[in-house]
Amino acid sequence: MADLAVEQGQRVRALLRELHGRNPFFTHKLRAAGFDGARAIDALEFPRDLARLPLTTKAELVEDQDRHPPFGTVLTEPIDHYTRYNQTSSTTGRPLRWLDTNDSWQWMLECWKAVYAGARVGQADRILFAFSFGPFLGFWTAFEAGCQIGAHCIPAGGMSSRLVCGLLADHTGWRGAFAGLGVLGVLAAFEFWRSLPPSRRFQPSAFDPRVWAADLRHHLRDPGLPWLFLIAFLLMGSFVSLYNYLGYRLGGAAFGLSHSGIGAIFLLYVLGMIASPWAGRRADRQGRLRTLSTMLALMFLGLGLTISDALPAVIAGVALYTFGFFGAHSVASGWVGRQAVHAKTLAASMYLCAYYLGASAMGWASGHAWSEGGWPGVVGFLCLLLTGCALAASRLRR
């Protein structure tokens, strides 16, 4: 362990010497922390002095990019040395733009290779990547590292299930399409189960029903969380209902689209890749409540456009509705993590539970609206759900 600490200390000092004077962002932070030159850096002893180094957060890096667009002052090398552009996933807010040289990129691939080695994944294995092809850093590093170790890497893409279902339905009928997807799902689940390595570090924790019940009551008594759970219920319910019954309308006499054509509408899900980070940036600048209200307004506007008998207007309406939904969900789900003081995992699970309950319950209820009033009936029902979202949002604090 002593030898390891010495090796780690040497590497940290080498890294700091590399950054100081070349990387404006970290040079400023190091100087502010009292490390103004190689002599101060060389005097560091690790792990004793680790706490003296300045902490860097993602928020600082995003702010730096705002002040010095597009990449901030965090670059160590000249711009023409960088060969890769990627972004973070924007799961917790705005995406961070990131550049890599060939050397720094390969370093990340080596990290992934260590992960594969730990999971006993090698040349004889196949790896299915259920990612969309976008700028998300995690997919590209994992995929390329898998290729370098000689594994058979399969890019599965994303958001294509509806389109595949439509293609199957055109050639085999709806029963054949569902049967085919069911068989594929069972085979995929079996292969996933078969390929999993044995658990090595799993340690079950004790479950105390009293603690769980106390945390549950605490969240339900919170002034904001129940409203966010209600928003999740209504939001997902309205979204699923729109896509569920839109297919009946587009396949009817007014439009007469094939199953493949209807399935292609679901490719509009790709707008979620744009809406989520956009809503995150807007929430940072203008507040969560204002951004959530804007997303709900877009959903109202899109819903109105779907009343049209012109297919381009309907598609535009669905696109607006989809964009607004993913933006609203991004803001609301992130709000839960900030609102919950403790037991954040339980709060997040309660949000998701409400989210999927809404999909089931409102998807069923909107079927009665379709039976009684056709598409105008569905639109009217969804307007009620969105109005409920707006009323719940009005009870939230900024």
State pLDDT tens for residues 271-282.
Answer: 888 888 888 888
Residue 76 CA to residue 89 CA, distance in Å, equals 23
pLDDT in tens, 336-393: 888 888 888 888 899 999 999 999 999 899 989 998 899 999 999 999 999 999 999 9
Cβ neighbours around 325 below 10 Å, total: 27
* Across 159-181, average pLDDT: 70
pLDDT in tens, 241-280: 999 888 888 888 788 877 777 878 888 888 888 888 888 8
Residue ranges of alpha helices (H) inside the chain are 2-19, 24-32, 38-42, 58-67, 102-118, 137-148, 161-195, 209-221, 225-250, 259-265, 272-286, 288-305, 311-339, 344-394
Side chain identity at residue 199, one-letter code: S
Q: What is the mean pLDDT of the chain?
A: 87
Please list, in sequence order, all residues whose beta carbon lies within 8 angstroms of the beta carbon of residue 16, skipping any fewer than 6 positions away: 30, 35, 41, 44, 53
Residue 212 CA to residue 122 CA, distance in Å, equals 41
Residue 144 CA to residue 147 CA, distance in Å, equals 5
For domain 211-394, the CATH superfamily is MFS general substrate transporter like domains (1.20.1250.20)
CA angle 303, 174, 258 (to 5 degrees): 55
Whether 294 shows a pLDDT value over 80: the answer reads: yes
Stretch(es) of the chain classified as CATH 1.20.1250.20: 211-394
When mean pLDDT is compared across 24-33, 115-124, 173-182, 217-226, the lowest value belongs to 173-182
Cβ neighbours around 270 below 10 Å, total: 16
More confident residue, 346 or 136: 346
Instruction: With 0.75 as the threshold, say if the pTM is over it.
Output: no
**3-class DSSP state for residue 54?**
coil
